[in-house]
Amino acid sequence: MKNLNQLLAKVIEHIRPKDPPFKKEIENIVATINKELKKNHIKATAVVGGSFAKDTHLVDDHDCDIFVQFAYSYKDKNLSDLLEKAVRKFKAKRVHGSRDYFQFRKSLNYEVVPVLKITDPEKALNVTDASPLHVAWVKKHKKNDQIRLAKAFCKAQEIYGAESYIKGFSGHVLDILTAHYGSFINLLKASQKWKPNLGKAKMGPADRGQLGDKTVIDIEKHHKDALFELNASKIQSPLIVVDPIQKDRNAAAALGKEKFDIFIKKAKEFLKHPSEKFFEKKVLTKKDFKDAFILNVIPQEGKRDVVGAKILKAYEAIERNLTQHDFAIKDSGWVWNKEAFLWFKLKNETISNEKIIAGPPSAIEKHAEAFRKKHKKVFEKKGKLYATVKREYRNAKDLIKDLIKTKEIKEKVKSITLS
Give tens-digit pLDDT for 284-342: 899 999 899 999 999 998 888 899 999 999 999 999 999 999 999 999 999 998 899 99
With respect to residue 8, please indicate whether it lies within any of the assigned structural domains. Answer: no
Instruction: Check pLDDT > 50 for residue 367.
Output: yes
- pLDDT confidence bin for 33, thresholds 50/70/90: very high
Cα(169)–Cα(159) distance, rounded to whole angstroms? Answer: 6
How high is the pLDDT of residue 203?
A: 45
Q: Are residues 294 and 400 in the same domain?
A: yes
CATH number reported for the structural domain that contains residue 268 in this entry: 1.10.1410.30
Q: Are residues 262 and 362 in the same domain?
A: no
Cβ pair 379, 254 in contact under 8 A: no
Task: Calculate what percentage of the chain has a pLDDT beyond 70.
Answer: 95
With respect to residue 160, please indicate whether it lies within any of the assigned structural domains. Answer: no
Domain range spanning residue 383? 354-390
Whole-prediction pTM value?
A: 0.87
Could you tell me where the beta strands, DSSP code E, fall in 171-304?
216-217, 240-241, 293-298
How high is the pLDDT of residue 337?
A: 87
Q: Are residues 362 and 314 in the same domain?
A: no
User: 279, 294, 319: which is the final residue of a domain?
Assistant: 279
User: 91, 108, 127: which is the final residue of a domain?
Assistant: 127
With respect to residue 341, please indicate whether it lies within any of the assigned structural domains. Answer: yes
What is the secondary structure of 142-200 as a DSSP string? --HHHHHHHHHHHHHTT-B--STTT--B-HHHHHHHHHHHSSHHHHHHHHTT-------
Total number of domains constituting the chain: 4
User: 279, 304, 330: which is the final residue of a domain?
Assistant: 279
